[in-house]
Amino acid sequence: MDSVTKHQVQIRYTQINRTNEGITFTDFDFQVDDSLYFYPASTVKFPIAALALEKVNAIDSININTRFYVEGDTVETTFAKTITEIFAVSDNNANNRLVEFLGQDEINVRLQAKGVGPVRIAHRLGFHSEDLATKPLIIYMNDSTTFVIEGGTNTSPEPLKLKSIEKGIGYYEDESLVEQAFDFSLKNYYPINTQHNVLKRIIFPELFSDKEQFNISKDQREKLLKAMQIVPRDAGHDPSIYYDGYCKFFMFGDSKENIPSHIKIYNKVGFAYGTLTDCAYITDHENGVEFMLTATLLVNENGVFNDNTYEYEEVGIPFLAELGRELYNFELNRSK
């Protein structure tokens, strides 16, 4: 807490109060600023997954269990499996398949139409592709019949004009050090305020108008929520590598122990370029605890990007884990 400026910390914590009149939110912010840029990394996968379900719901001939593959890809999968992999281990390729399905322009337009913003999804993850064209999806109707959902061409992104859009003192490119600030202006933009509003719409859709909600069925929402709270071992991954806290930074990110069954964390994390972010709805049904928490911080002591020298394990994840525990303990004792 003595270095919040250096670490560019932003936190939003939401108390959830239930009465006979309904549910109300009380938001508390620490340094939340839409105009102060941080790299959102894999947190963008959450709205992309929700929008993909919405699009699946709008096409009569497919459902979340429909098999498909992206033209040129070697992996055949389903929408359900893709979404599970996005949340269980934050799989980049799974996300990129849904970007091909939706397209960047459609993602941005549909989010803004729901009153979710500011936001700008400009590129796939795992690599910064300059390719504005999305690839066709080959959809299986049955074992022998397929049809194609054609790709399209998306708008070239405009450079973002935000505070701290250039960061650090240098970066590596093609294994060479470039001694100037790293420019994030053409990358994705998904600030704390926007992340939190997406989370609220998925967890508590009834508190929003039809226009503001994601147009997904009850069954689709239940499957999305299941994917959001799943831990890697329950998705078939080796728990010695992908422990429960691997993609659950709040409360458990710094522990290799299993998360107790009465605590559920519906969330999406992101970590890249030294920036760690988590956006979560945390519940403990045994103790009557529920709250929402979104936070980000930068851990790049040497100020050099793309050198893979970041203080994730030493500073970032312990901070987010302790933040989650402190607020959980506060909620545990809060009069409701």
pLDDT, tens only, 165-213: 999 999 999 999 999 999 999 999 999 999 999 999 999 999 999 999 9
Q: What is the 3-state secondary structure (H, E, C) of the chain?
A: CCCHHHHCCEEEEEEEEEECCEEEEEEEEECCCCCECCCCHHHHHHHHHHHHHHHHHHCCCCCCCCEEEECCCCCCEEHHHHHHHHHHCCCHHHHHHHHHHHCHHHHHHHHHHCCCCCCECCCCCCCCCCCCECCCEEEECCCCCEEEECCCECCCCCCCCCECCEECCEEEECCEEECCCEECCCCCECCHHHHHHHHHHHHCHHHCCCCCCCCCCHHHHHHHHHHHHCCHHHHCCCCCCCCHHHHCHHHHCCCCCCCCCCEEEEEEEEEECCEEEEEEEEEECCCCEEEEEEEEEECCCCCEECCCCCCHHHHHHHHHHHHHHHHHHHHHHCCC
Q: Could you give the CA distance from residue 200 to residue 50 in angstroms, rounded to a whole number?
A: 13
Domain 4-333 belongs to what architecture? 3-Layer(aba) Sandwich (3.40)
Q: Could you give the CA distance from residue 237 to residue 53 in angstroms, rounded to a whole number?
A: 24
Q: How many CB atoms lie within 10 A of CB 124?
A: 20
| Strand-by-strand arrangement of the 146-149 sheet | 77-78, 67-70, 137-140, 146-149
pLDDT classification of 3: cutoffs 50, 70, 90: confident
The answer to whether the beta carbons of residues 196 and 214 sit under 8 Å apart is: no
Q: For the whole model, what pTM was predicted?
A: 0.96
Bridge partners (DSSP) of residue 263 are 284
Look up tokens 């080796």; give the residue.
Answer: 238
Average pLDDT over residues 103-107: 97
Q: Which of 308, 304, 271, 300 is nearest to 7 (CA)?
A: 300
pLDDT, tens only, 42-92: 999 999 999 999 999 999 999 999 999 999 999 999 999 999 999 999 999
Give me the count of residues in the chain.
336
Burial class (CB in 10 A: 0-12, 13-18, 19+), 303: middle
pLDDT, tens only, 111-124: 999 999 999 999 99
Q: 131 pLDDT exceeds 90?
A: no
Bridge partners (DSSP) of residue 36 are 163
Q: Could you give the CA distance from residue 123 to residue 137 in angstroms, rounded to a whole number?
A: 18
Domain parsing of the chain, residue ranges: 4-333
Token pair of 166, please? Answer: 């250039």
